[in-house]
């Protein structure tokens, strides 16, 4: 039985799998949770990066982007508070694994630079699950964590769309 499972796994990985090498650009929307749940209503982000295929199954690369968390405005008879938007510029290394032709999982990890006043950024970590909807279009679900220096943590659940611009030599 073990031999059949090994042969099936080998056949799955050896036939028809392809990495998604090239420049990637996209956007995502997210809902902040935990420390910033009350201060930020939603987040929008832009994603950009480049992936190199190490073979048919594994991609590595670099990624960057921009994340903007839109602040809540509190207005009552006693309190008026207009909180600042939270803004980050992530700089990360990326890894993607393609167990099938259309499904990938991976992670971006690095440093997120804080852009707004009083935001120093922190360690950036973003696990991701992606599904190819076409040859160069991917929808992904991710969870962003930025561990900030002041013992706060930016966390959001995101849904995004990513487009690949492949290398001309691979077309």
Q: What is the pLDDT of residues 81-93, one digit of tens each?
A: 667 788 999 999 9
Task: Name the one residue in this structure whose structure tokens are 């935001």.
Answer: 119
The answer to whether the CB of 144 falls within 8 A of the CB of 34 is no
Distance CA 158, CA 111 (A): 18
| Percent of the chain as helix, strand, coil, to the nearest 5 | 10, 60, 25
Burial class (CB in 10 A: 0-12, 13-18, 19+), 6: exposed
Q: According to DSSP H, which parts of the chain are helical?
A: 2-14
Q: What is the pLDDT of residues 13-36, one digit of tens each?
A: 443 344 568 899 999 999 998 877
Can you give the pLDDT at residue 75? 56
Distance CA 103, CA 163 (A): 15
pTM: 0.79
Can you give the pLDDT at residue 160? 97
pLDDT along the chain (171 residues), means of 10: 46 46 93 80 94 91 94 63 83 95 94 89 95 92 90 91 80 48
Distance CA 99, CA 117 (A): 42
Structure-block tokens of residue 84: 């600042």
Distance CA 117, CA 20 (A): 37
Topology, domain 18-170: Porin (2.40.160)
């Amino acid at each position: 039985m073990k031999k059949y499972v090994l042969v099936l796994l080998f056949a799955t990985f050896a036939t028809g799998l392809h990495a998604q090498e090239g420049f990637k650009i996209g956007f995502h929307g997210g809902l902040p949770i935990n420390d910033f749940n009350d201060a930020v209503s939603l987040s929008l982000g832009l994603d950009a990066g480049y992936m190199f295929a190490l073979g048919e199954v594994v991609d590595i690369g670099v990624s960057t982007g921009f994340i903007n968390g839109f602040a809540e405005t509190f207005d009552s008879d006693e309190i008026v508070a207009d909180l600042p938007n939270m803004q980050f510029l992530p700089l990360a290394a990326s890894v993607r694994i393609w167990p099938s032709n259309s499904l990938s999982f991976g992670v971006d990890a690095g440093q997120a630079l804080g852009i707004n006043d009083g935001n120093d950024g922190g360690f950036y970590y973003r696990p991701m699950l992606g599904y190819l909807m076409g040859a160069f279009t991917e929808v992904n679900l991710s969870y962003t964590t930025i561990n900030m220096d002041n013992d706060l943590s930016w966390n959001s659940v995101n849904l995004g769309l990513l487009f690949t611009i492949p290398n001309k030599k691979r077309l």
